[in-house]
Amino acid sequence: MSLNKFIDSLSTQGWYVWDDFLTSSEMQAIKNCIPDTLQDARIGHQDTLQGNKAIRGDQTIWLESEMGKPIVDYLEKMESIRQELNCQCYMGLRDFETHFCRYPNGAFYKKHIDNFQGLGKRKVTTVVYMNEDWKAGDGGELVVYDQQDNQLFQLEPVAGRMIVFMSEEFPHEVLPTQQKRESLAGWFLTEKIL
């Protein structure tokens, strides 16, 4: 995969699927940095944050460089992509935030948009799948829609695969899991994280 193909696809259709973005050893090294206990994910923003298992059932932990070298390596890889997007697409991306997500068996995330038009700092969404033994029937697929609510595609959460899409343009959902599903969800931001 050339970076140019990624840039072209994101610029023209607003999304790109990048297979083999992480190797098996890179994924395992990252997982080894993740503590056993995660927080139940919440919905909303700042003062309105709340848990709601009827909307999403995943558990998360924000990634910090202090968690270990594999996390630092991943953040550096994403930083080089941020710089390339700014250089070639003039996106004005200033930072990247990311968390590790674990969907227990039966968990899902109802249809949502990562950033409502002009109301937040998330510009580009990334999801890297880390389910080495995923097979058809395990669930947890990502379904992506257009602005008119037409389904564009359904993506299998294959290990090492990354999907990147414009955060304001694509409503999406995670279908119920039949097995544990793990990923790294991240966002390129138009403002620096303080």
At 99 the pLDDT is: 96
Residue 48 lies inside a defined structural domain of this protein: no
Residue-wise burial string across 157-179, b where 16 or more C-beta atoms lie within 10 A, e elsewhere: bebbbbbbbbbbbbbbbbbbbeb
- Tell me the average pLDDT of the chain: 90
pLDDT in tens, 176-187: 999 999 999 999
Residue 124 lies inside a defined structural domain of this protein: yes
Residue 46 lies inside a defined structural domain of this protein: no
Q: Name the nearest CA neighbour of 191 among 94, 86, 76.
A: 94
Question: Number of structural domains, the chain?
Answer: 1
Residue 49 lies inside a defined structural domain of this protein: no
The CATH number that applies at residue 113 is 2.60.120.620
Query: How is residue 16 written in tokens?
Result: 């790109």
Contact 190, 92 (CB under 8 A): yes
Residue 62 lies inside a defined structural domain of this protein: yes
pLDDT in tens, 5-36: 999 999 999 999 999 999 999 999 999 999 98
Kindly give, in sequence order, each residue whose CB lies less than 8 Å from that of residue 144, ignoring residues fewer than 6 positions away: 15, 151, 152, 153, 154, 155, 163, 165, 170, 171, 172
Phi, psi angle pair for 106, to nearest 5°: 95, -10
At 117 the pLDDT is: 63
What DSSP character marks residue 103?
E
58 is in which domain, residue-wise? 1-41+54-189
- Model pTM score: 0.91
At 53 the pLDDT is: 59
Residue 173 lies inside a defined structural domain of this protein: yes
Residue 13 lies inside a defined structural domain of this protein: yes
pLDDT in tens, 43-69: 544 444 444 556 788 899 999 999 999
Residue 47 lies inside a defined structural domain of this protein: no
